[in-house]
Structure 1
Amino acid sequence: MGVVLTQALSFLLVILVAYFFKTKKILEAKDGQTLSKIILNITLPATIIIGFDSVEINSTLLFLISLGLLTNVIGIIVGGFIWRKRKSTDQALMIFSQTGYNIGNFTIPFVQGFFPQAIPFIGSFDTGNALMLFGGTPMLTDQIVGEKHEKKEIKKVILQLFRSPSFTTYIIMILLAILNVTIPVNVLSIVQLFASSNAFLSMFMIGLYLEFTISRSDLKKVAQLLFTRYTTGIILAFIAYFLLPLPELVRLSLVLLVLAPIATVSTINMVVYGNKEALSGFLSSASIIISLILMTAALAFIM
């Protein structure tokens, strides 16, 4: 338990240091964009490569891809039902606040410090998660709110998915595993150098993006959104850990996944569907802090 708390406090410290640098204008929020590019294009793919190397593709990994899809669908159903009588912008806000998990920039860096052997399971789940984030969720949201924001053709969705370096890396590593191809040790040692900085850079970037400015009227709305998301997440976590007939490491990975923060793509979609940037930014920041607390508590309880 001591190791868990130390690691979580270390992550929190990095986030707070970055936020302090931003408040003192040593760095700016826009500097997070540079870090984001480094993470998404270099350190995160490197972490995925290290995690997936020598992994055998089995039914569990395929099942986790389907769970990545299913949990997002559950979020859409919950969000669409709860605020079904509100205006379309509010209903879309509720839906996007309940769906999508920040896995690449938060969950994977968080897991790196405890059990990197869980990364293949988390990556498989994220494959299904990405399919919903970039295609399935916006299409279903359009149907629920009765609006058409963007025509999502299958070809366009596929191209958008493969523009994501992490998704492309998942697919490549899965193919290599199917073909029983392993990466040479000397190459992995170089990749490990890049992967080792992923957790720090991810947490530092989160600190630069943190926003805690919001109106009182929006604060009540955010409280409702987060209460719904994490109530659903805790229920799913109990089901995943105590009811699913899976190895303990897989069940533990699922607990952390369903307690993960709101995905960045989801917060962007909130704005696309007519909601204020300040509200979505605060919602994302609050979600990160709550997830850090809940994921740490879950690990401390289970381990």
Structure 2
Amino acid sequence: MDSFNSQFLYSVLIIALGYILKRTNLIKEQDGEGLARIIFNLTLPSLLIVTFHDIEIDSSLILLIVIAIVYGLIQAALGLFLFKNEEKRTKGMLSMMAPGFNIGLFAFPLVEAIWGKEGLKYFGMFDFGNALIVFGVIYVIGSIYSDAGERKDLKHVVGKVTKSVPLITYVTVCTLNFTGVTIPSVILQVSETISVANMPLSLLLLGIYLNFSFAKGSSRQIIKLLSLRYVVGLGIGILLFMFLPFESMFKYTVLIALILPMSASVLPYAVEFDYDRKFVGTVSNITIIVSFFLLWGVGTLLI
């Protein structure tokens, strides 16, 4: 438990450092865009290579992918139903924010610090299914209800998915693993060196993007959206934790994954589809704060 609390304290300090650097103008929020590209296209893929090159895939890990996809579809459907009486564009924006989780930037640094490669293995498999929701379902919802330009066809959506470097890395490394192809040691060694930077950079980025300037006049929508994400997520997570007949790490993964923050990809989608990016950014920040304290609470009780 002391180790768990210590890791959370270290994470809070690194996030706070990123926020202080932004507030003192030593780093600007715009600099976060370049840092995010480095994380998503370099340090995170490197971490995935190191974690998954020799992983033994069993049925429980495959089930994590299924859970992530099914839960994402359920949340998308609930979002469309809950916000059905909202104006068309508002309905699309809110429904787009209901499914999907920020696993790469938010969960991976904490999981790596607390459980190491074993934890990353489980959360990585969940993130595989989550990526299909984020780059497929969420993008489609945002596109359908947007008035910004022409709606994107299936070809465009598929193209968006296939350009995700983390998703490509998942598929490539797992395929090589299944077929028994060994990744050259030099690639593994370079990847391991680069992957060390993923945790501190990701936490710094969360601090850089943290913003306490919340939009006014939209508290009702925010409360409904947060209730959908956290009440449903925590409820289903607890049920699965209690009744799934798998090892503790599997149960921790499901319970924690379902209360993670909103996907980081939603904000770029809001820009692309001309939604209210300030509102989306506000809710994204709130979910980071809520999830952080929820995870600390869950961890304190269970670990």
Please report the TM-score for the alignment, with normalisation by the length of structure 2. Answer: 0.91
Equivalent runs, 1:58-69 vs 2, <5 Å: 58-69=58-69
Q: Report the residue type matching 1:204 in the other structure.
A: L
Aligned-pair CA distance for 1:34:
1.6
Change (3 A) 1:19 1:149: farther
Aligned-pair CA distance for 1:204:
0.4
8 Å contact 1:65–1:127 — kept in the other structure? Answer: yes
Cα deviation 1:231-257 (Å, max 9, x = unaligned):
111112102211222222111111121
- Give 5+ residue unaligned stretches, structure 1: none
8 Å contact 1:35–1:205 — kept in the other structure? Answer: yes
Q: Report the residue type matching 2:235 in the other structure.
A: I
Aligned-pair CA distance for 1:187:
4.4
Aligned-pair CA distance for 1:64:
1.7
Change (3 A) 1:58 1:215: closer
Q: Report the residue type matching 2:289 in the other structure.
A: I
> Which has the higher mean CA deviation after the structures are superposed, 263-272 or 11-20?
263-272
Cα deviation 1:12-62 (Å, max 9, x = unaligned):
111111111111111100111121121112110111112113112222232
Aligned-pair CA distance for 1:82:
1.4
Aligned-residue sequence identity (percent) comes to: 26
What's the C-alpha RMSD, in Å, of the aligned pairs?
Answer: 2.2
8 Å contact 1:15–1:206 — kept in the other structure? Answer: yes
Partner of 1:267: 267
Change (3 A) 1:269 1:3: same
8 Å contact 1:121–1:253 — kept in the other structure? Answer: yes
Partner of 2:164: 164
Distance in structure 1 (CA, Å) of the matches to 2:150 and 2:225: 22
Equivalent runs, 1:22-171 vs 2, <5 Å: 22-115=22-115, 116-139=117-140, 150-153=151-154, 155-171=155-171
8 Å contact 1:76–1:141 — kept in the other structure? Answer: no
8 Å contact 1:72–1:137 — kept in the other structure? Answer: no
- Give 5+ residue unaligned stretches, structure 2: none
8 Å contact 2:62–2:125 — kept in the other structure? Answer: yes
Change (3 A) 1:244 1:141: farther
Partner of 1:245: 245
Q: Report the residue type matching 1:125 in the other structure.
A: F
8 Å contact 1:108–1:119 — kept in the other structure? Answer: yes
Distance in structure 2 (CA, Å) of the matches to 1:88 and 1:266: 18
Distance in structure 2 (CA, Å) of the matches to 1:183 and 1:243: 38
Aligned-pair CA distance for 1:100:
0.9
Change (3 A) 1:44 1:177: same
8 Å contact 1:89–1:273 — kept in the other structure? Answer: no
Distance in structure 1 (CA, Å) of the matches to 2:166 and 2:212: 29
